Amino acid sequence: MLNRKRLIKEMPGKFHGMKTNWIQWILVYVFWVITAGLGFLCLISARNLSLSILYLFSVSRWTAPAVDKMIFLILGVLWLVLVIFAEYYYREAVAKNILWKHFSFITSIELFCLSGSHLIPVLIISKTNVYWGSLLLPGIELIGGIIFFVQYKFRRRGHRIG
């Protein structure tokens, strides 16, 4: 019968690597769910942005629903592509040991998109008076996007998480 403590002393990398590998694979799918959720929020807020732009240009009442449905269909396909690509991108990152860097990159892009799609309708609808409270959410998303982008840009290769 093999003694586990003796095996760990003789081959410390093997058992430690298995634990880290499981943690990284769990993190891949946790990050994937977060990315899919943020992507869905981007889809909904981009639809709100398109409706605000349609309102700004006073599109006819017959054209607006058709344009809205077409934009929603295109955004849905883009969201699906994002979800499939993010899962592949994160799985590849585990092999290169740069999972956090890849997650930071995609999350920063999503937070920048969210910030823009929340800020532009506020500026369109309130042409003269902008209430500072309505700028709070886009500001927080912009700061979060900057933080994740800095994490992506300045994180060195090979730093493990988990």
Question: Which pLDDT tens digit goes with each residue over 121-159?
Answer: 888 777 767 777 778 888 899 999 999 999 888 876 555
How far is C-alpha 34 from the chain's CA centre? 7
Contacts of 102 (CB under 8 A, 6+ apart): 89, 90, 92, 93
Residue 12's pLDDT is what?
45
Rounded to two decimals, what is the model's pTM?
A: 0.76
Mean pLDDT of 44-59: 85
Number of residues written out for the chain: 162
Mean pLDDT of the chain: 82
User: Is residue 71 a contact partner of residue 47, using CB atoms and an 8 Å limit?
Assistant: yes
Count of CA atoms in the C-beta half-sphere (13 A) of 135: 7
